[in-house]
Amino acid sequence: MNEGETDRRVVDGRFELESRLGGGGMGTVWRARDLLLHRHVAVKEVRPPDVDLAEYDPGAAETLRQRVLREARALARVQHPNVVTIHHIVDGGEGTYPWLVMELVQGGSLADRLERGPMAPAEAARLGSGVLDALNAAHQAGVQHRDVKPANVLLRTDGRPVLTDFGIAAIRDATALTATGSIIGTPDYMAPERVSGHSGGPAADLWSLAMMLYVAVEGHHPLRRGTTLATLAAVLQEEVPPPVRAGSLTPVLSCVLVRDPQGRPDAGTVARMLAVAAAQPETRGPETTSYPLAPPAPPVLPPTDDMQVAQRRGRKAKRSPAVAVAASVVGVLLVGTLTWKLLPGGDDKNDAIQSPGATGQTQQTQRTQGTSPTTTPSATSEKTTNLLTPNGIRTAIKAIEKETGRDSFGGLTVYPEYVMADVMVKGSRTKYDSYTYRVGSGVEKDIISGKLMDGFEPVDLREYEWDAVPALLTRAGKVLNVKNPTSRYLVVQGAWKTFNDPEYMSVYLSDAYQSSGYLEATPQGKVTKVTPADD
């Protein structure tokens, strides 16, 4: 058969294709039999989404071919039991697409495993240690993976992880082969510095690893949104909500999932923390309930010099809420204490929050805030502990405006515990600085500054009817098909003139099993779109 035929059964006269193992936008992976050595292998067939690419854009097709060859060379440079072994490459030269012949890992992928439910913290920590070993080997060879995610972690039959798909790996000093402006990596797992256009370094791969472990134990992705654009914006601008099921893995997630790469510990420290987490009893984090649970017992680890360095770095870097949970991750390890009331479901009696669809939610909010959802409260009348209320939103906006001296916003995201705002630079309709407001600590400037995407307009928050938010939350609880929400938040987005999209506010709900939905409304609270979670 000719190489270009899609029904070809034998590749290079040697590798007989038997069954399809999986595939994506850039090709298909097959289970095949090596007719020469009489063993089974995995064969990656590279095919672009557009099969006619080589005809109308031969330059792009050749770029793709070179990128695949680079994957093969990158893999060949990394010799490690936790990195997939490449056996052979079939390259027909210019105008063709290569085939990669690799070892067959027969235990499925981590993505397959997570479809059966979340992992226990100790189990996830052991898996994370194996992936970290693979990343360390790659980094020592000058290779950054850049796409660590569950689908790219294969599992041997004994459960050991194998890192694969180095197709977008960046080799030090190599010429970039990707088109300007293209997204390199999966948005859900990309580190903020890579989203913002920087090449990143080993610390960016550590972020992706930690985010993967967060998903593995929590059962949902904390920054995944309804669109790729919204997800990228969340990774770039929003902080990672504190994990609630991570147990002994919490310190690792807390110190790695910070937006400033300089604030993350090095790989050696992460490896030791994973070892501690893996040694804990095989238990899961707390299940979601409507009342506080006792906090998990944190691990205790003798102090080391590099952990103290990581702690000092963390004090200088902008911390995510997960870091606020432990005050300092290293402090958790050294002292063995945890400020539990900062966790969702903690013991702060003034901050009892139920899911928006739960019975009595409106009354609970009224008792907590001392206000009716139909009454416009004074933004400074009392201390606000739940910011996802009319009073809470007004309090945060007023504090941010007072701190910055500005009243024009690029966008706003409101969680019960904190509010994130892109505040427009004076005299500019495109440049903004990011700020975060929390009760008790006030307004803090984030490390992120940027520009609105082409066509986006700033938001005039004075036009928004915040008293409509409780009703939107209640309706979301009824129509979004998220029965036991573990996360809820409000997003305010400006108009996008490029596509004539008006400004709006959206309410998002998600649960512990990756089920999420959202509804959009006008600034006055009229619902215009409902996207429920899948059944």
- Return the domain boundaries, the chain: 10-103, 110-175+184-342, 361-531
Output the CA torsion 224→230→233→234 (10° steps). Answer: -30
Residue 411: helix, strand or coil by DSSP?
strand
Overall CATH class of domain 110-175+184-342: mainly alpha
pLDDT of 114 above 60: yes
Residue 436: helix, strand or coil by DSSP?
strand
One-letter amino acid of 127:
L
Q: What's the chain's average pLDDT?
A: 74
Alpha helices, DSSP H, located in 141-266: 192-195, 202-218, 228-237, 250-256
Q: What is the pLDDT of residues 455-486, one digit of tens each?
A: 788 999 999 999 999 999 999 999 998 888 88
* Distance of alpha carbon 155 from the chain centroid: 22
Question: How confident is residue 167, by pLDDT bands cut at 50, 70 and 90?
Answer: low
Angstrom distance (rounded) from CA 296 to CA 442? 28
Active site residue 147: yes
Is CATH 3.30.200.20 the right assignment for the domain spanning 10-103?
A: yes
Average pLDDT over residues 406-413: 91
Which of 247-251, 381-385, 461-465 shows the lowest mean pLDDT across its residues? 381-385
Q: What is the pLDDT of residues 121-134, one digit of tens each?
A: 999 999 999 999 99
Q: What is the pLDDT of residues 513-532, one digit of tens each?
A: 556 788 999 999 999 989 88
Q: Do 48 and 128 touch, CB atoms closer than 8 A?
A: no
Closest by CA to 140, choosing from 171, 164, 185, is 171
pLDDT of 352 above 70: no
pLDDT of 316 above 50: no
Report the relative pairing of strands 153-155 and 409-414 from DSSP bridges: unpaired
Which of 24-38, 312-326, 339-353 shows the lowest mean pLDDT across its residues? 339-353
Question: How confident is residue 177, by pLDDT bands cut at 50, 70 and 90?
Answer: very low
Angstrom distance (rounded) from CA 477 to CA 486? 12
Q: Specify which residues 420 forms β-bridges with.
A: 413, 436
Secondary structure letter of residue 188 according to DSSP: G
Q: Specify which residues 451 forms β-bridges with.
A: 431
Q: Which of 133, 147, 467, 511 is catalytic?
A: 147
Q: Do 100 and 44 touch, CB atoms closer than 8 A?
A: yes
Do 10-103 and 110-175+184-342 show the same overall fold? no
Angstrom distance (rounded) from CA 196 to CA 300? 36
